[in-house]
């Protein structure tokens, strides 16, 4: 097993953690592999020396207060898609809490544009529904029209959700959260700076 295979398998078992946290934990072991290789070990031997991946995953989860035995693994496609979406939403909310009003307006405008696109997608579904209605009217069974309308609505909702999830995730996935320095920290930093300047001036006088 090489480093890349090790990284993928390790992260696959840490999907319950936030992506940033899982990546940081994985980097610790990747650095160990790199150090062992620098000391003369082959890549496969360096990976093997770390032990079983399942044991490493359990150690990391225990470190973060998670009991691995009680964790229900869900590897479905939709689960992973929703998980990634919620992580991105959390990142956007966290960033907006630290942004200026102008920066937040830009994010809101991007979201409104995405919602507008979702609304535009409805047009083909309306055309298909009208076409189906004109055909079903010939059978003189009103219930068929209701069933057809329900099918179209369900299909539109599924497509709209998938489009929103994919586009939203791609737009905001690389959004970096920048935390603002608290006023108290700024005051403390300025106070320390003034003390240092005062001490330097006194030393120069001596």
Query: Are 67 and 111 contained in the same domain?
Result: no
Query: Are 9 and 26 contained in the same domain?
Result: yes
Q: pLDDT digit string (tens) for 82-137?
A: 767 777 787 788 888 888 888 889 889 989 999 999 999 999 999 999 999 888 88
Query: Are 202 and 152 contained in the same domain?
Result: yes
Query: Are 113 and 58 contained in the same domain?
Result: no
Q: Which of 19, 43, 72 is the last residue of a domain?
A: 72
Question: Confidence class of residue 201 from pLDDT cuts 50, 70 and 90?
Answer: low
Q: How many Å apart are CA 96 and CA 83, to the nearest integer? A: 20
Q: Is residue 27 within 8 Å of 39, Cβ to Cβ?
A: no
Q: How many Å apart are CA 195 and CA 189, to the nearest integer? A: 10
Q: Which of 24, 40, 72 is the last residue of a domain?
A: 72
* Widest CA span in the chain: 105
Query: Are 65 and 106 contained in the same domain?
Result: no
Range from 75-79, 83-87, 198-202 carrying the lowest mean pLDDT = 198-202
Containing structural domain, residue 173: 74-206
Q: Which of 28, 53, 72 is the last residue of a domain?
A: 72
Q: How many Å apart are CA 95 and CA 133, to the nearest integer? A: 47
Query: What pLDDT does 167 receive?
Result: 86
Query: Are 131 and 200 contained in the same domain?
Result: yes
With H, G, I as helix, E, B as strand and everything else as coil, classify residue 42.
coil
């Amino acid at each position: 097993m090489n480093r890349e295979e090790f990284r993928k398998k390790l992260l696959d078992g840490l999907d319950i953690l936030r992506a940033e946290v899982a990546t940081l934990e994985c980097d610790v072991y990747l650095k160990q592999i790199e150090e062992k290789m620098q000391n003369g070990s082959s890549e496969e031997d360096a990976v093997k020396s770390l032990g079983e991946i399942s044991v490493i995953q359990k150690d990391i989860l225990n470190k973060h207060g998670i009991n691995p035995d009680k964790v229900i693994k869900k590897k479905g496609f939709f689960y992973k898609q929703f998980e990634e979406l919620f992580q991105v939403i959390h990142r956007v909310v966290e960033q907006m809490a630290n942004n200026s009003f102008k920066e937040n307006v830009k994010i809101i405008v991007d979201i409104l544009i995405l919602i507008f696109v979702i609304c535009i997608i409805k047009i083909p579904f309306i055309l298909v529904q009208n076409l189906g209605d004109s055909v079903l009217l010939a059978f003189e069974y009103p219930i068929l029209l209701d069933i057809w309308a329900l099918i179209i609505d369900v299909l539109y909702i599924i497509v709209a959700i998938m489009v929103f999830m994919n586009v939203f995730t791609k737009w905001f996935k690389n959004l970096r959260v920048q935390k603002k320095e608290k006023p108290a920290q700024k005051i403390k930093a300025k106070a320390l700076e003034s003390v240092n300047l005062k001490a330097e001036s006194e030393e120069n006088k001596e």
